[in-house]
Amino acid sequence: MTIRGKAFIVGSYEHPGRRLPDKSVSQIHAEVCIAALKDAGLGLNDVDGLFYTGQLSMGATALSDYMGLNNLKVLDTTMTGGSSPVIHIGHAAMAIATGRCNVALVSLAARPRSERAMRAAPNPEASFEQVFGTNTIAMYALAARRHMYEFGTTSEQLAWVKVAASQHAQHNEHALLRDVVTVEDVVNSRLLSDPLHLLDTCVVTDSGGAIVMANPEVAKSLGRTRVKILGCAEAPKHSNNGKIDLTYTGGRFTGPRAFEEAGVTPKDVKYASIYDSFTITVVETLEDLGFCEKGKGGSFVADGNLISGTGKLPVNTDGGGLCNNHPGMGGMFKILEAVRQMQGTAHPKVQVPNCDIALVHGTGGSLGTRMGSSTVILGQEDA
């Protein structure tokens, strides 16, 4: 069974705040959910599916109680880190396509900027890896260094990912970092873990966002441009008992399957939202999704090729996780900007003309160890 064209995104909302010390995670969830439903023209009583990403224990159950969602038939709290909201889009589409629910609410909220410690139970590998003092930045640095060794990728090429993000973020009034930077700025910023610099890394924010999805009948009744789900796929990529290749991501598995279900190819994509925890994440993911050959990602992103209006493939036109918004799990904001592009409501300076096919890719975990990846292909259908 395919989900192609059987579920639609009908509402969306991104919290404008980036520092929210006076709001609880539950408050942020409620605010974005209610705003997304308002955007869709629906109410709390219309929701019968809840897909939750965040910091709450028993998250979907707690949030349904907090918001008074009394008609739920489907709950999903799948946790794969930053890719979770992207995976939830696929899960919600499947639930809608099979008739398990009619209106799904996909929500994310977190406060890592205000709550520096995001505590979780240790994973099985913790006693082997964390004892040596490694951290997230170091694991991505390993992947970057290996990519450089294998393919000749340079720090200057990686820097172009940040440059593109900053060019876009200057037009986003809510972006945490709005200053435009140059390649020289990036490579001259403080070295955090060789070869990654301070400006190669994402921002840390408090924030939240929500998406409302519906079946074709509900979506059509709302009378607006609809964003339909054409294809989706999810897969893990892990250390393979030590036989790990640091030069590719889970996109190697999810990209081909999502494109096959959608019936399109990378050449058809007008806009791409690519998870950008670090600059190397974008380079490797673009290769694995088929936008360029393996090893050619560095040259593909260089010279402004990701900048809207300038480059061949506009990427992360809201400024992405590198400049705009990244509360530890940034997949939600990849979906939100893709929806804006499809609806023609992105900032005029970055709006992609005739944006009828978009790709969203989420990465959760680490390029250097293990990750959960998800790819979603979106299409446009007029009211």
> Could you list the pLDDT tens digit for every one of the 383 residues in the chain?
799 999 999 999 999 999 999 999 999 999 999 999 999 999 999 999 999 999 877 889 999 999 999 999 999 999 999 999 999 999 999 999 999 999 999 999 999 999 865 455 556 666 667 667 678 899 999 999 999 999 999 999 999 999 999 999 999 999 999 999 999 999 999 999 999 999 999 999 999 999 999 999 999 999 877 899 999 999 999 988 888 899 999 999 999 999 999 999 999 999 999 999 999 999 999 999 999 999 999 999 999 999 999 999 999 999 999 999 999 999 999 999 999 999 999 999 999 999 999 999 999 999 988 899 999 999 998 64
d(CA 42, CA 35): 10
3-state secondary structure of 379: strand
Helix 84-97, helix 331-343: angle, nearest 10: 60
d(CA 221, CA 40): 11
One of 3.40.47.10, 3.40.50.620, 2.40.160.150, 3.30.1360.120 is the CATH number of 8-115+202-381, namely: 3.40.47.10
d(CA 291, CA 267): 8
d(CA 251, CA 256): 8
**Nearest in space to 277 (alpha carbons), one of 141, 376, 380, 155:** 141
d(CA 250, CA 238): 9
263: left (phi over 0), alpha (psi -120 to 50) or beta: left
Q: At CA 85, angle to CA 30 and CA 279, rounded to 5? A: 120
* Domain regions of the chain by residue span: 8-115+202-381
